[in-house]
Amino acid sequence: MKNKGLVQVYTGDGKGKTTAAIGLASRALGHGLKVCYINFHKGEHKDEHYGELKLLKQLSVDIYRFAERHPHFYKNEPVEKIREECLLALKFIEEIFQQRKYDLLILDEILISVRDKFISEEELLELLNKKPENLEIVLTGRDATEKIIQIADLVSEIKKVKHPFDKGIQRRKGIEY
């Protein structure tokens, strides 16, 4: 990609953070850019569980998952283990930086890792400092921290006005996953 790569943040309590990131991936792919998608804390579903990941795979996007078990859903998961897996993810992302293989890197829910202290704010900032010039990075997750917001070039906060979960409508295949 000839563009300078920026840091984007999609945060807030409304629906649309992951879908925004995936929408961006579709735009990049349409222009032949190389995309890598990494998620955090998404549970132990196979990639095929998520319609968007199924599609990204078909489009030859490289997909990786780290720290699948979040204590919110897996009450007995040791936090040290989650922390270790997040550290592995940070190392892995640094390797990706060195490879210069991608134009767009999506770190889905990494802001949750920071919010829940599996990754410190400083660790994420240090990582972003090492970002190659031409790589665009997307961070998603609720509760982006102040410093992350400061260093990002683009921040969109998606505010919930209504969500069907509030009236008991369960997650729907093809809509929520």
Interface residues with ligand ATP (CB under 6 A) are 13-19, 142, 160, 163, 165, 171, 176-177
CB of 56 to ligand ATP, least distance (A): 13
Asked if 116 contacts 65 with a C-beta cutoff of 8 angstroms, the reply is no
Residue 174: count of CB within 10 angstroms of its CB = 7
Which one, 122 or 149, has the nearer CB to ligand ATP? 149
Asked if 35 contacts 108 with a C-beta cutoff of 8 angstroms, the reply is no
CB of 35 to ligand ATP, least distance (A): 17
Residues in the chain: 177
Site string for Mg ion, 15-54 (x = CB under 5 A): --xx------------------------------------
62: nearest Cα among 20, 17, 92, 18: 92
42 binds, among ligand ATP, Mg ion, none (CB under 5 to 8 A by kind): none
157 binds, among Mg ion, ligand ATP, none (CB under 5 to 8 A by kind): none
Q: How far is CA 127 from CA 89, 92, 95, 132, 159, in A?
A: 11, 11, 11, 10, 27
CB of 18 to Mg ion, least distance (A): 3
Which one, 16 or 132, has the nearer CB to ligand ATP? 16
Asked if 11 contacts 144 with a C-beta cutoff of 8 angstroms, the reply is yes
116: nearest Cα among 58, 159, 162, 70: 70
CB of 27 to Mg ion, least distance (A): 18
CB of 73 to ligand ATP, least distance (A): 11
Task: Give 137's strand partners.
Answer: 7, 105
Q: Which of residues 2-21 bind Mg ion (CB under 5 A)?
A: 17-18
Which one, 106 or 127, has the nearer CB to Mg ion? 106
φ and ψ of 65, to 5 deg: -130, 140
Write out the residues near Mg ion by the rule CB under 5 A: 17-18
